[in-house]
Amino acid sequence: MRIGLNSFLYASPFTTKSTSLFAKFKKWGFATVEIPVEDPSHIDPVAVRAAAEKAGLAIGSICACMGPGRDFRGSEADQKAAMDYCVALIDQAAVMGCPRLIGPVYSVVGKADAVEPAQQKIEWALVVKNLKVLAKHAEAKGVTICIEPLNRFETDFLNTCDQGLKLVKAIGSKAVLLHLDTFHMNIEEKNQAASIRKAGKLLGHFHACGSDRGTPGGDHIAWPEIVKALKAIGYQGDVVIESFTTDVKVIARAAAIWRKIEPKRDNIAVNGIAFLRKALN
């Protein structure tokens, strides 16, 4: 398992100039970087790939930023915007040699409300329909889509491992797997390790986040059991730290980070990778 870092800890939006961060990430020992691409126009994928290769980092994943207007269960305009955006990200991933597109690739983040069962069926069908189309494009480009359930405060559509597995199986593509995140699972799952074991070979990506969005290991999450579960299913993908701080104002507001979770954001990266290295051995 490679250990990676999501660049939201230091930059929003990530642009081609943000690749200046790569040398620092490599110095700290990260093997991969996860890049949230808020708009495809923000990066030159050829230049970003060259910068990563120069730093000795792999671009392990591109994170979909499902902002307003990007919604596979929304209006026709929102569905088209989501499709155009995700297709562009898959194309960029292919250029960068990045194997996966990850995140809540189904609906706009923050759309969380009570939805009647009849409407739920309609929205579910729309997401499955759209993701089947997107999956075919991903298959052609050699990119895997890893779908992430979020906690109940960020979406009403997909919250648990069980729901995520149901969606992955409904899409039925070899290019679609599940993405689990310890922060969201800490809220929604009865037992994180059991959920990981249930995901099994369909687990394609993993976020290691503190229970408070801070440093993994400096929290109450049952990390030994989680590591045992990852090893039990033979998980060989990336383990990525995705934490946020008040230093990046846009993301802090979006993720409801109202206070300093750690003294310095470097603590999250440096202490986080030290903990994960030891835990994953």
- The count of structural domains within the chain is 1
Burial (0-12, 13-18, 19+ Cβ within 10 Å), 103: buried
* Model confidence band, residue 245 (pLDDT cutoffs 50, 70, 90): confident
pLDDT in tens, 175-217: 999 999 999 999 999 999 999 999 999 999 999 999 999 999 9
Burial (0-12, 13-18, 19+ Cβ within 10 Å), 67: middle
pLDDT in tens, 147-178: 999 999 999 999 999 999 999 999 999 999 99
How far, in Å, CA of 36 to CA of 129, rounded? 25
Which two three-digit tokens encode residue 204? 């394609």
The mean pLDDT of 32-43, rounded to a whole number, is 98
CATH code at position 160: 3.20.20.150
Active-site pick, 34, 154, 242, 262: 242
Among the ranges given (28-32, 114-118, 250-254), the one the predictor scored with the smallest mean pLDDT: 250-254
The mean pLDDT of 234-246, rounded to a whole number, is 93
How far, in Å, CA of 281 to CA of 146, rounded? 25
148: annotated active-site residue? yes
34: annotated active-site residue? no
Active-site pick, 148, 154, 188, 262: 148
- pLDDT at residue 228, as a whole number: 98
Which domain covers residue 231, as residue numbers?
2-280
